[in-house]
Structure 1
Amino acid sequence: MITQEQVRKELYNEFIKPTNQKKDFIGVEIEIPILNLDKKAVDFDVVHEVTSKFQRHYKDFENDGIDYDGNVFSLKNPKNEDIVCYDCSYNNIEFAMGREKNLFTINERFTDYYSFVKESFEEYNHTLTGMGINPYRKYNNHLSIPSERYLMLYHHLKSAENYENIPMHFHEYPEYGMFSSASQVQIDVYKDNLVRTINVFSKIEPIKALLFSNSVLVDENKHRTCFRDALWEYSTHGVNPHNIGMYNVDFKDIGDLQAYLESLNIYCVMRDGSYINFESMNLLDYFSKDHVIGEVYDKGVYRKVEIKPEISDIEYLRPFKFINLTFRGTVEFRSVCTQPISDSMSVAAFHVGLKDKLDELEELITNDTVIYHKGYTATELRKLLIKDDIPAFINMDELCKLSKDVVDISKQGLQERGIGEEIFLKPLYERIKCRTNPGKNMIIKLNDDTSLETMIEEYGKISRI
């Protein structure tokens, strides 16, 4: 049997030890929905043709993932580590930019790739747009990419009926990974600042909801500006609430953080190159077992298989927190929806600017009485602020000032970097001024009979700085 001490040591090596290096890189990943403007399912043959065209044009990109049908679903440039791939299904494209030290370099390459891909899709009356939920999802075929990882993931999300006697309900969208899109940022954080970074950034999640929400479930729920939160929380990823959302605790030190990692659930491992799914269970419970019964995909069907836990299985621990630790020694911020394309770099700029301003940010939030000290946790506040109406106990003028104060701190941090990246915060100031965000703006315009097609076009436009 694997001991708790062995698990603790392996967790440290996987997630904490990499933060001992002092680095200062930024990683940006932007997922973007693909739409068929004929209001039919996305044509996967078109997707594969666009992929081939991209590779012919950008000759440095090499095949990085080929599905069981022989189609390329991931391309990688080994020179700069940029990846252009499809996420979960061929309805969703992702631009994962290789790490850089300034946002202008990232933005230049992203803009180039996005423009080429969008123009290529439009030759077939398809397009891309900057929304956190595909507004044409109801027309699409929600089929997983036939690859080892994505088949495993979808199988896990469809397994809700296997869980009994747990205090939660599951939503009806196990395919949500095929129609929801995020804008994620990875930032190098040194070990000495790791705990404090998580503590402080966790407390501004409600403000981030106010600034960045952009996932409206068109035709089904036009009252939540960020429906993505519920898609994660009420799925099999949320069987253990510690695996998703916010931390809801203040960590005292690295020991506290490690204890939290031990509280997470694991639901898959690999053996002989194949993923094996099993019922989501606590990490320590998993390692205490002599064997676990799981399921493996084999020639179109799933069959039962028995595995023996191995300490190296920690490599497959996959929490989806709003703030995640990665094996790269980075902190990954995952709670933000894909933004209107012209505002794409605002997400990374916001986080990069605040990274080294923890003193100012912590003082602001600690002394805040606009949303805090009113009986609500940060998680509860975020849930309130992803609705189209702000609760009566919150003064809107004061909330806008608080939001501006946070963005001002980010701006100061960017100005101190001396590169000029603060220009990417401009959309956030405009949202604060207009008391809106992309999700709320979409709800208002749709209620005012602006066509969905107009919104799709507007949110898909690129801007060049």
Structure 2
Amino acid sequence: MELELIRQQLHKRYIEPTKKKREKYIGVEIEMPIVNLSKEAVDFEVVHEITKRFISHFEFSIVGTDDEGNIFSAQSAVNGDILSYDCSYNNLELSFGREQNLFAIQNRFSEYYDFLQNEFKEYNYTLTGMGVNPYRNYNHNVPIPNGRYRMLFHHLNSYRKYIDLPMHFHHYPEYGTFSSASQVQLDVEYDRLALTLNTFSRLEPIKALLFSNSVLLGEEESTLCCRDMFWENSTHGINPHNVGMYDCEFESVDDILSYIETTSIYCVERDGKYINFAPIRLDEYFNRKSVTGEYFDNGIYRKIEIEPRFEDLEYLRTFKFIDLTFRGTVEFRSVCCQPISDSLCVAAFHVGLMDRLDELSALLESDRVIYHHGYNSGELRKILIKRDLPEFIDKDKLYTLAKQIVDLAYDGLVNRNHGEEKLLEPLYQRINSQTNPAKNMLDLKNSGVKLKDIIAEYAKNET
């Protein structure tokens, strides 16, 4: 296929939706680990029972069941909210139908969360606000038994066969079963695409400073956000353009399309079967006559030849910190699950800054606190997810910069006139204390506070 035809299809899928006149909405997804306080594996039968109770209580409709008939996704016909399980039944996700007011989301989140906590309490379980399940080593870290997650687990476990690649793979291919995120989707306008991606890419190091909350307790405690490593040093990162930062300046929509062309596809679906193959760049994939993949069939994986087609773009899944979606939105996905009481500060931060995009861009372009020291934004992100900062960064000036950024978000939220700026209070507290949830957790642990008590603290819903 000609490159121009590929570009036309990418433009149709990712760019044209941003040209449509529409109201601006907010989408929020919050994942949370399920913790068995008895220090035993989470019993999935308990999870299935509580799912049924939730569906009955809130009158959700079943959307998805796994190969064993268990519910992994249900949705409200009233507001579009979804209860689901991400990758495994150890990780519960609440996704909210699009809204224009953050308090509408916060109120429903609080209602759902309080109900779930009350039900889990009966079994000595809890949800909590941590980016890594603190009791992951007790759990059965297995995928949901369905086509998509079985394929994903198979893909991530295939890292051992890439012995000739000049990259380091971590040894946590099951990380999706114990890592939890807080994601935000915001509508974006066509003529602001490049500015949005460039500016929020420069912001990523400061987001690491403020939001880090995923520590591999007892294994790697110098890294405050191991979430980055999970994706970048897995098979998702074989093509580095599929993960992490952009680390380039987009001058136009054509630049953005050129970047998307360099990303890789690693799965498609045919006749209801997910087919996995080694990642292939899009421009190469669509110029092949056939691709050899494998699919799961009654306990074994069988080879299959498929012919690429443009409809396969539906299965292009990148894991960038900032992703342009087919909905005409940008998805911000680099933030860990936050302490429950602080859950909506993530969305508030992004919503406020989107309203002050020009001012944010100017502030970051003129910065000399972290930038202009020989490091790009991706390298700075890797520096600022660490517990200890290098000498070239003045800590007080760093937090002054962070406050300037949060102040911009505050002004943006004030301009929306919903009172949402109060949701940023946790960030001001972190700046004043020069900490973040991961640092705070480690400080509590090192001062002798028991892990079960930290879990309970991060599980509090004081909204």
Matched, 1:188 2:187: yes
Query: CA shift at 1:450, angstroms?
Result: 1.2
| SS of equivalent to 2:84 | strand
How far apart are the structure 1 equivalents of 2:221 and 2:314?
39
User: What CA deviation, in whole Å up to 9, does each residue of 1:167-208 have, x standing for no partner?
Assistant: 201100000000000000000001111111000010010000
Amino acid at match of 1:41: A
1:6–1:311: 8 Å Cα contact kept in structure 2? no
| SS of equivalent to 2:98 | strand
Structure 1 residues not aligned, in runs of 5+: none
Give the aligned partner of residue 239 of structure 1: 238
Query: CA shift at 1:164, angstroms?
Result: 3.5
How far apart are the structure 1 equivalents of 2:272 and 2:338?
36
Give the aligned partner of residue 249 of structure 1: 248
1:213–1:437: 8 Å Cα contact kept in structure 2? yes
Give the aligned partner of residue 228 of structure 1: 227
Give the aligned partner of residue 52 of structure 2: 52
| SS of equivalent to 2:294 | strand
How far apart are the structure 2 equivalents of 1:454 and 1:384?
30
Matched, 1:35 2:35: yes
How far apart are the structure 2 equivalents of 1:420 and 1:408?
14
How far apart are the structure 2 equivalents of 1:24 and 1:86?
27
Amino acid at match of 2:337: T
Give the aligned partner of residue 392 of structure 1: 391
Query: CA shift at 1:53, angstroms?
Result: 0.7
User: What CA deviation, in whole Å up to 9, does each residue of 1:76-132 have, x standing for no partner?
Assistant: 112211000111000000001110001000000011111111111110111110000
1:23–1:190: 8 Å Cα contact kept in structure 2? no
Matched, 1:20 2:19: yes
Structure 2 residues not aligned, in runs of 5+: none
Query: CA shift at 1:452, angstroms?
Result: 0.7
Matched, 1:460 2:459: yes
How far apart are the structure 2 equivalents of 1:287 and 1:424?
45
C-alpha RMSD of the superposition: 0.8
1:159–1:236: 8 Å Cα contact kept in structure 2? yes
Give the aligned partner of residue 131 of structure 1: 130
Query: CA shift at 1:447, angstroms?
Result: 1.4
Amino acid at match of 1:403: A
Q: How many residue pairs get matched?
A: 462
| SS of equivalent to 1:204 | helix
Give the aligned partner of residue 264 of structure 1: 263
Matched, 1:335 2:338: no
Give the aligned partner of residue 173 of structure 1: 172
Give structure 1 regions of 4+ aligned residues with deviation exceeding 6 angstroms: none
Amino acid at match of 1:47: V
TM normalised by structure 1 equals 0.98
Give the aligned partner of residue 420 of structure 1: 419
Matched, 1:211 2:210: yes
How far apart are the structure 1 equivalents of 2:35 and 2:2?
49
1:223–1:443: 8 Å Cα contact kept in structure 2? no
Answer with 425-434 or 360-369: which moved more: 360-369
| SS of equivalent to 2:34 | strand
User: What CA deviation, in whole Å up to 9, does each residue of 1:123-165 have, x standing for no partner?
Assistant: 0111110000000000000111001111111111111122242
How far apart are the structure 2 equivalents of 1:25 and 1:459?
29
Query: CA shift at 1:358, angstroms?
Result: 1.5
TM normalised by structure 2 equals 0.99
How far apart are the structure 2 equivalents of 1:77 and 1:234?
36
5 Å-filtered alignment, 1:297-316, equals: 297-316=296-315
How far apart are the structure 2 equivalents of 1:78 and 1:156?
34
| SS of equivalent to 2:120 | helix
Give the aligned partner of residue 440 of structure 2: 441
Matched, 1:151 2:158: no
User: What CA deviation, in whole Å up to 9, does each residue of 1:223-266 have, x standing for no partner?
Assistant: 11101110111000000000000100010000000000000010
How far apart are the structure 1 equivalents of 2:441 and 2:121?
23
1:23–1:189: 8 Å Cα contact kept in structure 2? no
Amino acid at match of 1:39: K
Answer with 235-244 or 74-83: which moved more: 74-83
How far apart are the structure 2 equivalents of 1:143 and 1:313?
27
Q: Percent same amino acid among aligned pairs?
A: 56
Matched, 1:78 2:77: yes
